[in-house]
Structure 1
Amino acid sequence: MLEYLDEFLLIALAHFFAVASPGPDFAVVLKQSIQRGRANALWTSAGVALGILVHVTYCLLGVAIVLSQSPAMFNILKYVAGAYLAYMGVQALRAKPVNGKDSAADLEHQTSEHAVYALRRGFLVNALNPKATLFFLSLFTLVIAPTTPTPVQAFYGLYMALATWIWFSFLAIVLSRAKVRAFFQSAGHWFDRGIGVVLIALAVRVVL
């Protein structure tokens, strides 16, 4: 395994900069942290990490090469991802003012009820992200040597999924702190609408 250490460090560094850059994953984790609390945001973070495994799997199976040679397939992925982000953005734009008491009650209800939905939301945002597709395509075709054994490549993938989960879980814990949530929630539904604008802008960026 030591003979692949240099390759692993290069992958770890590239992945760190990719996962730390603002994008759909960050926007969704931020939204869940502020709106629905820590537990919900942690489930979303886990979903994002599971989405990584989708990219790793098709790269290991060689589907990434087919995808890179088929602009039509890649465009379909872009449009589906863009539509999903736009849908979430529109839902956020429709946020209505509520009083503080009702907001707290609704927040508690949503946090306990929709953990599975939060997991699915994080998974779909990452699995459908064309930016992630391009990143893993480049990683598995340009950085990882063709002679690297499949089990070692799978280890790389598991590492990136775990690192992604740790990173976004850390963000979820920080962003869901009482003072941070209180700051954003002081703007009430305007924060939701702001996130909606960001998600729609990301949808346009994904498609274009």
Structure 2
Amino acid sequence: MSDLFSQYWLEFLTIASVHLLAVASPGPDFAVVLKHSISYGRRAAMYTSVGIGLGILVHVAYSLLGIGLLIKNTPGVFTLLSYAAAAYLLYIGWGALKSGPQTNLKHDPQQTNQLIISDKKAFWVGLLTNGLNPKATLFFLSVFAVAVSPDTPNQVKMIYGLYLCVATGLWFCCLSYFLSSKKVRSFLSAKGYWFDRVMGTVLILLAVKLAMTA
């Protein structure tokens, strides 16, 4: 396995470098993690981050199965995906936009917030946000078409995909940890609903942009 991978180290470095720039740029994933960190605390944000990381496997799967070529060569399929993503972002954005002051945080905000959203729901929000993210789709269609050779074995492509999955999850887990730290959390607890509304507006604008460019 090590000998096989050593032949494709340049491909891996190219993919890893492009991914670092892509994952660090603000998008729906960042907005959702910030929203959950503010509204529900560290635990929910961490589960959301894990879901976002595993959402990468959706894009890896269709890339390995060749479905990516179908999406690329069939505009109607990508348009449908864009509309589905726009509708989902609009849904969670509207929910964030309706946020108000949290009056039930008197003793243990972290524990109280866990009652608002379950771990399972936080995970699925992250998974769906990334799984339906056209930005991630375009990333895989472009990178796997340009940086990855058609002769690269599927097992090596799977290693690329697993790396992207783990790297994405770790990035957002670190972001969640920072956003829900004691100092940041104490600041956000008082005016967090305003940040929630801002993120809701961002998500709605992203949804509108997706719908208009689909």
Normalised to the residue count of structure 1, the TM-score between the two structures is 0.94
Other-structure match for 2:79: 75
Q: Give structure 1 stretches of 5+ with no counterpart.
A: none
What is the CA–CA distance in structure 2 between the aligned matches of 1:186 and 1:21, rounded to whole Å? 27
Whether 2:155 is the aligned partner of 1:151: answer yes
Contact kept? 1:56, 1:154, Cα under 8 Å: yes
Q: Does the Cα contact within 8 Å between 1:185 and 1:191 map onto a contact in 2?
A: no
Please, what is the CA RMSD of the aligned residues? 1.6
Partner of 1:47: 51
- 1 CA distance for matches of 2:166 and 2:26? 19
2:111 matched residue in structure 1: 108
- 8 A contact 1:89–1:197 mirrored in 2: yes
The 8 Å contact of residues 131 and 206 in structure 1, kept in 2 or not, is answered as: no
Tell me whether 1:96 sits opposite 2:100 in the alignment.
yes
SS in structure 1 at match of 2:7? helix
Shift of 1:44: 0.2
Cα deviation 1:20-76 (Å, max 9, x = unaligned): 110000010111111111111110000001110000000000000000111111111
The question of whether the paired residues in 1 share the 8 Å contact of 2:11 and 2:148 is answered with: yes
Judge conservation of contact 2:53–2:168 (CA < 8 Å) in 1. Answer: yes
Amino acid at match of 1:163: A
Identity across matched positions, percent: 48
Aligned positions, number: 207
- Are 1:25 and 2:29 counterparts? yes
2: CA distance between counterparts of 1:97 and 1:186? 8
CA distance in 2, matches of 1:91, 1:102: 23
Corresponding position: 1:66 with 2:70: yes
Please name the residue that 2:187 is paired with: 183
- Residue 25 (structure 2) pairs with residue 12 (structure 1): no
For 2:198 and 2:148, locate their aligned partners in 1 and report how far apart those are by CA, in whole Å. 39
Per-residue deviation, 1:108: 2.4
Structure 2 unaligned spans of 5+: none
Deviations 1:118-161 (A, max 9, x none): 00000000000011101001111111001111100000000000
**Using a 3 Å threshold, how does the CA distance of structure 1 residues 32 and 98 change in structure 2: closer, same or farther?**
closer
1:33 is paired with a residue of what secondary structure? helix
